[in-house]
Amino acid sequence: MEDIRYQPAEIEPKWQKHWDDRHLFRAGERAGAPRAYVLEMFPYPSGAMHMGHVRVYTLGDVIARLARMRGFDVLHPMGYDAFGLPAENAAIKDGLHPAIRTPRNIESFREDLKRLGISYDWSREISTHEPEYYRWNQWFFLRMLERGIAYRRLSRVNWCPSCRTVLANEQVLEGLCWRCDSKVEDRRIPEWAFRITAYADELLQDLDKLDKWPERIVAMQRNWIGRSEGATVAFKVDGTAVEIPIFTTRLDTIFGCTYLVIAPEHKLVREFASAEKLAEIDAFAERIAQERKTDRAADTNKQGLFTGAFAVNPFTGQKVPIWVANFVVADYGTGAVMSVPAHDQRDFEFAKQYRLPIRPVIQPADGSPLLDPATAPAAFTDDGVVRDSGPFSSLESAAARQAMAELARKSGFGNPSITFRLRDWGVSRQRYWGTPIPIVYCEKCDPERRGIPVPDSDLPVRLPGPDEMDVKEVLSGTGEPPLAKISSFVNTTCPRCGGPAQRECETLDTFVDSSWYFARYLSPQDDRAPFERSEADGWLPVDTYVGGPEHAVLHLMYFRFWTKVMQELGLCEAREPVKRLVTQGIVNGPDGRKMSKRFGNVVSPRDIVEQYGADVTRLFILFAGPPQDDMKWSDDQVEGISRFLNRVWRHFQSVKKDLNDEERLAAETGVNPLRRKTHKTIRKLTHDIDNLQFNTCVSALMELSNAIGAVDSTQPAPFSALREAYEAFALLLSPLAPHFAAELWEQLGRADEIQLHSWPAWDEALTVDELVTYAVQVNGKLRGEVQVPATADDEEIKATARQAERVAAHLGDKPVRKAIVIKGRLVNFVV
């Protein structure tokens, strides 16, 4: 007996080669067609793909293939986020230079992608570690420098001792490095930064336009930007000329201010504290910095120290003590706050702890009395009516805020102001495997080391390769940038005076690379510009972007910022990079835990594809649940999918001959249950696939295959209906399991490309059943079912329903008060 099992190992490579040979997925080759740009977050090319990658790329591929069937000219590119720490860290271990390891990894990764049958336009492949790519990072850096968006600053940075680099705030999670979980330390060093805060308002406002982004991602960005409206008010330090600006959102409570808190590391502290006190304060600062590192909950534990100085409230002239405390940080707002314990919970707790006075000035709007400092268990933090506040008394909070800000402005001690939680983006990294920053230092022209930009004509500033360095020696440094050890790199000539000069040895954060790569795909070989304007205006913004939600406030914020800059540079019209964002959940191990070597529950895509084929792997991932939900790998479920395709295959092989017999096909006509099922399935998939409900798409295809299988055993096969069902099945399956679908299509005798065939349409008339099943309820409880002709009117339906056996029994001779008929669904008798 001939083996009729379906053989993915044969048909999948066959179709992959076919697509490759015909360049079937090249973008820009369907003249006049509307365009769709479908993109997945590009991978860091580690040696082997993991299941998370399989999930993103499968999701993106379904969307891209569907768009193609809908007649779009689809751009679906792939590339590699190739700079970064893992390759560098691996090199320190085994001495293999990143520039050698990375291309190998890319090759292996590409192989895995190809075996999954993802429909990429491979002619546009890019990798960020190539000089042809990163020279444009440098070019952008110079443009930003010209516009004051890039600047040099001295800053307290988050330093990861294990990765030996600086981290952005977003890369520090609960005091730990996002990559290696080491405890992050504070250091003060000069670094390059991007003024993303200048775009804070726009980044916030434009969130409203992102109506096809998941709400939670938008909410996370909104929180991250953290806009607050309020006022800045200067408090004079008593007996000095020093002014401490404070930021508050509750200016209406300023008459209740009983002390000031300033960050212990705030530079103004040195201007008013006595030498003696200063030593105490420094020790305090040191201690809390230490605690913050060792204890994640340190911040909830309030600690403070009186500085010995007093400040004058500009509204009241009253003197209040100035404290330092662990919950005020120097780089948020102005680094100092006024404390109103009666109306701020944190201030309240602090005041109780250190026995500071509590002065209520806001009366609840419902008329209940002012808070009693002695007995109140908590601060009253709502708006209300202002009391005991001089000329502002009896104003509503909002009105008081406005009036007070106005007075402050007129009197010159304050202004309405807005602060953001968002910080500027520090981009300097003391690492090797990244984009060299195109800056030169010349002692003669630039004694202050502000940095001299490398001229565009000298770009790219190339990263020294394996021949120019001793890998282990250069990379295993102690905090100095590795590039500083490569004298052939460091020593150069000054672009201004032509004298000796040194290059900047830091490299750019790799989030720079991923901030604009989506645009580079538009003209990946362009050597005169990062990309072509005309291409950008034709394809941007990206229509659908698929990736993990872990990038909500990192990559997804940076690339929005970058897009706005690109637009200002005249590179594109778009001011937002992506219209629709799809975030996908995690693929966990079979035990429900995160896949990890530690748990020994890692499932390798390569093994699975080898064993079951790409189509089975793809279908399983799609079937397991909605894209945004986390899912669990299940070997049994994979088997189930494999059985499903085999069942279809076997049945198809047994009827194939008849399906291609034109005489028999011509003889058959009419509507029958299979045709109805076929058209209903088309309708369902058309709806579900648009809503990204791929799991129910797979279910519906299983149902259709069950209906196809049932025909055979019951009655003489209506071959025309069977052929119609198989054609529809192949088309509907095509975006999900493209190889299997293409093979079916070919064996149905079709010579055209199923990949480019139009998405099937259903005939609504063919979806209508002759008999409709109605559920019959009595008083809302199910009591029976009846079959009613589809053409019956309400009265006929009721009459039939009434006669159903169990229904009649329940109705008895009680009068029916009301009968509700829901067309096509149910009848409910109320007695």
Partner RNA sequence: GGGAGAGUGGCGGAAUCAGGUAGACGCAACGGCCUUAGAAGCCGUCGGAGCAAUCCGUCCGGGUUCGAGUCCCGGCUCUCCCA
What is the contact surface with RNA in residues (CB under 7 A)? Answer: 170, 173, 215-216, 219-220, 223-224, 299-300, 549, 552-553, 623-626, 629-632, 634, 636-637, 639-641, 643-644, 646-647, 691, 693, 695-696, 698-699, 702-703, 706, 709, 713, 773, 775, 777, 779-783, 785, 806, 809-810, 818, 820, 822, 825-826, 828, 830
Q: Whats the size of the chain, residue-wise?
A: 831
- Angstrom CA distances, 521 to 80, 535, 787, stand at 11, 10, 58
What is the smallest separation between the CB atom of 379 and RNA, expressed in angstroms?
12
Q: Distance between CA 115 and CA 595 in Å, rounded?
A: 22
Q: Which residues pair with 155 in a beta bridge?
A: 189
What is the smallest separation between the CB atom of 221 and RNA, expressed in angstroms?
9
- Of the pair 237, 624, the CB lying nearest RNA is at 624
Exposed/middle/buried for 736, CB within 10 Å: 0-12, 13-18, 19+?
A: buried
Q: At what angle do helices 614-623 and 738-747 cross, to 10 degrees?
A: 120
Residues 539, 75: contact at Cβ < 8 Å? yes
What is the smallest separation between the CB atom of 167 and RNA, expressed in angstroms?
12
Q: In this structure, what DSSP letter does residue 242 have?
A: -
- Of the pair 324, 631, the CB lying nearest RNA is at 631
What is the smallest separation between the CB atom of 782 and RNA, expressed in angstroms?
5
- Of the pair 184, 461, the CB lying nearest RNA is at 184
What is the smallest separation between the CB atom of 562 and RNA, expressed in angstroms?
20
- Of the pair 416, 549, the CB lying nearest RNA is at 549
- Of the pair 290, 300, the CB lying nearest RNA is at 300
Exposed/middle/buried for 390, CB within 10 Å: 0-12, 13-18, 19+?
A: exposed
Tokens encoding 344 = 């701020």
Exposed/middle/buried for 151, CB within 10 Å: 0-12, 13-18, 19+?
A: middle
What is the smallest separation between the CB atom of 647 and RNA, expressed in angstroms?
5
Q: Distance between CA 67 and CA 63 in Å, rounded?
A: 6
Say whether the peptide bond before residue 541 is cis (omega within 30 degrees of 0).
yes
Element (H, E) at 286: helix 275-294
- Angstrom CA distances, 705 to 241, 644, 652, 726, stand at 84, 9, 10, 9
What is the smallest separation between the CB atom of 646 and RNA, expressed in angstroms?
6
- Of the pair 561, 623, the CB lying nearest RNA is at 623
Q: What is the residue-wise DSSP string for 746-813?
A: HHTT--S-GGGSPPP---GGGG--SEEEEEEEETTEEEEEEEEETT--HHHHHHHHHHSHHHHHHHTT
Name the residue among 543, 540, 518, 546 with its Cα closest to residue 694: 546
Range list of β-strands (E), 102-255: 126-127, 150-160, 165-167, 172-173, 176-177, 185-194, 228-237, 243-248
Q: Is 28 left (phi over 0), alpha (psi -120 to 50) or beta?
A: left
- Of the pair 27, 682, the CB lying nearest RNA is at 682
- Of the pair 528, 818, the CB lying nearest RNA is at 818
Q: At what angle do helices 719-733 and 738-747 cross, to 10 degrees?
A: 150
Which residue blocks in 26-71 are alpha helix, DSSP H? 51-69
- Of the pair 437, 619, the CB lying nearest RNA is at 619
- Of the pair 433, 644, the CB lying nearest RNA is at 644
What is the smallest separation between the CB atom of 342 and RNA, expressed in angstroms?
18
Contacts of 785 (CB under 8 A, 6+ apart): 773, 774, 775, 776, 804
Give the angle 273-278-284 at the CA atoms, nearest 5°: 125
- Angstrom CA distances, 173 to 187, 196, 220, 509, 701, stand at 17, 20, 15, 17, 43
Contacts of 60 (CB under 8 A, 6+ apart): 38, 39, 40, 76, 118, 544, 546
| End-to-end Cα distance, the chain | 65
- Of the pair 93, 823, the CB lying nearest RNA is at 823
Q: What is the residue-wise DSSP string for 92-142?
A: HHH---HHHHHHHHHHHHHHHHHHHT----GGG-EETTSHHHHHHHHHHHH
Name the pairing type of β-strands 542-547 and 35-40. Answer: parallel
Q: Distance between CA 688 and CA 695 in Å, rounded?
A: 9
Q: Distance between CA 392 and CA 362 in Å, rounded?
A: 11
Q: In this structure, what DSSP letter does residue 717 have?
A: -
What is the smallest separation between the CB atom of 585 and RNA, expressed in angstroms?
8
Q: Is 383 left (phi over 0), alpha (psi -120 to 50) or beta?
A: beta
What is the smallest separation between the CB atom of 656 and RNA, expressed in angstroms?
17
Contacts of 675 (CB under 8 A, 6+ apart): 721, 724, 725, 766
- Of the pair 531, 740, the CB lying nearest RNA is at 740
